[in-house]
Amino acid sequence: MAIPISYSIKSLVTRKLTTTLTAGGMALVVFVFAATTMLAEGLEKTLVETGSRQNAVVTRKGAPSEVQSSVTREQASIIESMPGIAAGAQGGRLAAKEIVVLISLTKRGTDKPSNVVIRGISSASAALREQVRLTEGRMPRPGTYEIIAGSSIARRFEGAKRGETLAFATRQWRVVGIFDAGATGFSSEIWGDADSLMQAFRRPVYSSVILKMADPLRFEDIKKAVESDPRLTLEAKRETEFYAEQSKAMSTFLRIMGTSLTVIFSLGAIIGAMITMYSAVANRISEIGTLRALGFHRSSILTAFLAESLITGLIGGTAGLVLASFLQFFTISTLNFQTFSELAFSFELSFWTALKSISVALIMGLAGGLLPALKASRMKIVDALRSV
Partner 1 sequence: MPLLIKMLLKNAFRHGLRTGLTIAGMTIAILAFGILTTVVDAWYAGVEASRANRLITRNAISLTFELPLSYYDKIRQVEGATKVSYGNWFGAFYKEERNFFANFAMEAQSHLDIVTELVLRPEERDAYIKDRRGAIAGRKLAERFGWEIGDLVALTGTIFPGDWEFVLRGIYKGRDETVDESIFFFHWDYLNESLRETMPERAGQVGFYIIEIARPELAGAVSKRVDSLFKNSLAETLTETERAFAMSFVTMTEAIMTAIQLVSIVVIVIIMAVTANTMAMSVRERLSEFAALKTLGFNRAHLSFLIFGEAMVITSLGAALGIALTFPAAQLFRSELGQFFPVFNIKPATIYMDIAAAVIVASVSAVIPSYRVAAAPITAALRRIA
- Residues lying near partner 1 in the complex (CB under 8 A) are found at 17-18, 21-22, 24-25, 28-29, 31-32, 35, 39, 60-64, 67-68, 101-104, 112-115, 168-170, 201-202, 204, 233, 257, 261, 264-265, 267-269, 271-272, 274-276, 278-279, 283, 332-335, 337, 340, 342, 388
Torsion of CA 20, 22, 28, 33, to 10 degrees: -130
CB-nearer residue toward partner 1: 2 or 267: 267
CB-nearer residue toward partner 1: 253 or 352: 253
The CB-of-85 to partner 1 minimum distance in angstroms stands at 26
Residue-level length of the chain? 388
The CB-of-316 to partner 1 minimum distance in angstroms stands at 10
The CB-of-31 to partner 1 minimum distance in angstroms stands at 7
CB-nearer residue toward partner 1: 297 or 356: 356
The CB-of-60 to partner 1 minimum distance in angstroms stands at 7
Chain center to CA of 241:
16
Compute CA distances 90 → 55, 87, 115, 124, 309, whole Å.
18, 8, 36, 10, 67
| 3-state SS, residue 250 | helix
Longest Cα–Cα distance in the chain: 95
**Cα 135 to Cα 50: distance, rounded to the nearest angstrom:** 18
Compute CA distances 184 → 1, 44, 52, 105, 281, whole Å.
56, 10, 11, 20, 53
CB-nearer residue toward partner 1: 54 or 207: 207
Q: Residue 139, class by beta-carbon neighbours within 10 Å (0-12 exposed, 13-18 middle, 19+ buried)? A: middle
CB-nearer residue toward partner 1: 93 or 171: 171
The CB-of-231 to partner 1 minimum distance in angstroms stands at 16
| 3-state SS, residue 279 | helix
- Find the distance separating the first CA and the last CA of the chain, reported in whole Å: 26
CB-nearer residue toward partner 1: 54 or 276: 276
CB-nearer residue toward partner 1: 96 or 327: 327
The CB-of-230 to partner 1 minimum distance in angstroms stands at 16
Name residue 329's amino acid.
Answer: F
The CB-of-279 to partner 1 minimum distance in angstroms stands at 5
